[in-house]
Structure 1
Amino acid sequence: MLANDFISWLLIYLPSCSIGLTLLLALLLDKFLGEARQYHYLVGFGWLAQQCEKRLNIYTQSKADNNSQVLVFNNKNAALGALSWALLVLPLPLLYFFYLNDLVWYWQILCDASVLYLAIGLNSLHQHAMQVYKPLNVNNLTEARHFTGYLVSRETSTLTPDEMSRATVESMLENGHDSVIASMIYFIIGGAPLVIFHRFANTLDAMWGYRTLQFNSFGFASARLDDLLGFFSAKVCTLLYAMQSKTFKVFTKALKNSASQGNQYKSHNGGWVMAAGATVMNIKLGGSASYHGKLVESVTLGCGNKIEIEDIPNSVLLVKRAAILLTLIVMLLTFMWLY
């Protein structure tokens, strides 16, 4: 009798906890399976994006433009970039919404968790961070610079150990939002279709969202739409980072720095999450870096000590805790709603 009652309770309770269970299952799949070693969907999507850009990007570079680096906005090319964005981003989420969004609850959890697992890449973040951290620990600067180049678009050939540590930590905190927390947030809001939508949009921003002669016009829509999509999730990620503060004083300082420093950073969303993460870690980020041959000076993010090599694994741990914290909050709110 008790066994039957328990089974009946599970059949009623579990479907109502589908969001929390999906988040938990996706994190477990990511932990134990890691990133797909072959046929990763983003590799195929990136190839499609490259082919589309080659055919539709009509930017022109005169010799004078190349020498002066003058960026001219072309409305037609911007429209073609927006069209390319729509052709690449919209079809798969719409197909998922209409054909795979009304399954039996347990199949829906498994299907959605598989999509979310492929999107979050938390294990992948850890692996990329360790590819820089390990050679830095043995002073193998050549290898560390090589793998730092996988994480950032800045020039890495002359970076010092501290500069590589800074670049890696910044990448972990920002990509912790872009690929992990944002994907989880958008699943909570709109399920797997919105996860796919956001992940594709974010990938196109990483490929096209640069202020260069090639992408200034064509990548305009990709950059602006990614900023818009990341606005809300970045604020949630900022809060999740700040909640890991050891004291309430540090918590409030993290939020204040996010608002004051993050709004001055070149990327609003990235500035907020990095400022919060750096404050909690008691370090300073930002400073000068070379992008596409141009030296860019960034505002200081966070406060505290000079960055060190050991801050690399600490930044990954901050992202992991934020993901776990979000999952626990969702489960707690679901339990409170049911009872």
Structure 2
Amino acid sequence: MTSSMIMVMAYLLDRWLGEVKRFHPLVGFGWLTTKIEHFFNFHHATPKTTTLILPRLLGVLSWLILCLPLPILYYYFHQNQLLFWCLDALVLYFAIGLKSLTLHALQILNPLNKKDLVTARHFCGYLVSRKTTDLSEQEISRATVESVLENGHDAAIASFFWFIIGGIPLVILHRLANTLDAMWGYKNQRFIHFGWCAARMDDLLGWPSAKVTALLYACQTNYSCSKMINALKNGYQQGRHYKSLNGGWVMATGASVLNFTLGGTAIYHGKAVTSTPLGCGNSVVKNDIFRSINLVNKAVVILIFTAFCSQLLHYFYGGNL
């Protein structure tokens, strides 16, 4: 029962306070990550004939240095006391960014409702890595919805999932790995080999939580089993062809539940990239941004409620099951 209370407290802290504006732990982690990368990633400027083994080994070593010590120390020193329960709730709160994701999306939706594309493009650039300066209203809506559905997993559901599985040490491990992927997981000359481990570990840690996220999205089909099955089927079939397997799963499933289609062409770092269509139904429009926000928030509530009910049953009937 304690873990459910910790999740509820972390959820409420995020809802009340939002993202920490100053002294967020991940800011310090980002600073340390930059220092480590500058020290170990000294092969990126060498000719392409250089072997890929050493940069990858150095990337693996850097990942281990940055991601393993803190979860191990937390696990070693953790005690089953009120102080550590409060600390667990605080760390879980730091790990999630549900309200922040909602506010960022609304920063884009509100200008769209006022036909202010300049402001909408500006704030859309905060949320996505594609070029936003020339996006149409429909393209801004698509970019925002894709980010909301994918980051619903990365910024919220994954942390709750790993807390249920293994407590705060796994939450910390996933959050650090996900942050490293965001910083190093690029297929450019600087990170194509050095960031290989960071990208693969994020894929590995995100694999089970992405499937749970897809299921949580698919549950919201107004009790239509056929629509739920179709949404999960699209997640499986379409997600395999998307650039990010985990992201493809959750976006395809979420888009199918909400009955619109994602994917298409976008400009990344000066290059046009065409993504496979995800979901089914009409083209996404600006009103779908709010629908996507609701889908993600309800998925988090369903997960916490399910965990609470499961632990409640185990508490009362665990010895007789």
TM-score, length basis structure 2:
0.94
SS in 1 for 2:283: coil
1:18 is the counterpart of 2:2: yes
Aligned to 2:111: 135
1:237 is the counterpart of 2:237: no
Shift of 1:73: 6.5
Structure 2 distance, partners of 1:75, 1:141, is 46
Are 2:121 and 2:132, in contact at CA under 8 Å, matched by a contact in 1?
A: yes
How many residues in Structure 1 have an aligned counterpart in Structure 2?
315
- Give the one of 147, 161, 166 matched to 1:171: 147
Structure 2 distance, partners of 1:241, 1:103, is 33
Aligned to 1:152: 128
Aligned to 1:198: 174
Structure 2 distance, partners of 1:160, 1:41, is 36
Gaps of 5+ in 1: 1-16
Shift of 1:30: 0.6
329-338 or 231-240, larger mean C-alpha shift? 329-338
Shift of 1:109: 2.4
Cα distance 1:107–1:280, how it changes in 2: closer, same or farther (>3 A)?
same
Shift of 1:59: 3.3
**Matched letter for residue 78 of structure 1:** R
Are 1:262 and 1:268, in contact at CA under 8 Å, matched by a contact in 2?
A: yes
**Matched letter for residue 74 of structure 1:** L
- Give the one of 87, 90, 96 matched to 2:74: 96
- Give the one of 98, 102, 105 matched to 1:126: 102
Shift of 1:98: 1.2
Shift of 1:61: 4.2
Aligned to 1:10: none
RMSD between aligned alpha carbons? 1.5
Structure 1 distance, partners of 2:149, 2:50, is 32
Structure 1 distance, partners of 2:146, 2:28, is 27
1:77 is the counterpart of 2:55: yes
Aligned to 2:235: 258
Are 1:59 and 1:213, in contact at CA under 8 Å, matched by a contact in 2?
A: no
- Give the one of 9, 17, 21 matched to 1:37: 21
Structure 2 distance, partners of 1:71, 1:124, is 43
Shift of 1:72: 7.6
Shift of 1:108: 3.0
Which of structures 1 and 2 has the bigger CA Rg?
1
SS in 2 for 1:265: coil
TM-score, length basis structure 1:
0.90
Aligned to 1:185: 161
Structure 2 distance, partners of 1:71, 1:298, is 31
Give % identity.
50
Cα distance 1:249–1:72, how it changes in 2: closer, same or farther (>3 A)?
farther
Are 2:102 and 2:293, in contact at CA under 8 Å, matched by a contact in 1?
A: yes
1:28 is the counterpart of 2:12: yes
Residues 254-295 of structure 1 deviation map (CA, whole Å, 9 limit, x = unaligned): 111001101111111000000111011111011111111221
Q: Pairwise mapping of residues 204-223 of structure 1 onto structure 2 (< 5 A)?
A: 204-223=180-199
Are 2:95 and 2:175, in contact at CA under 8 Å, matched by a contact in 1?
A: yes
Deviating 4+ runs (over 6 angstroms): 70-73
73-82 or 200-209, larger mean C-alpha shift? 73-82
Gaps of 5+ in 2: 317-321
**Matched letter for residue 188 of structure 1:** I
1:329 is the counterpart of 2:313: no
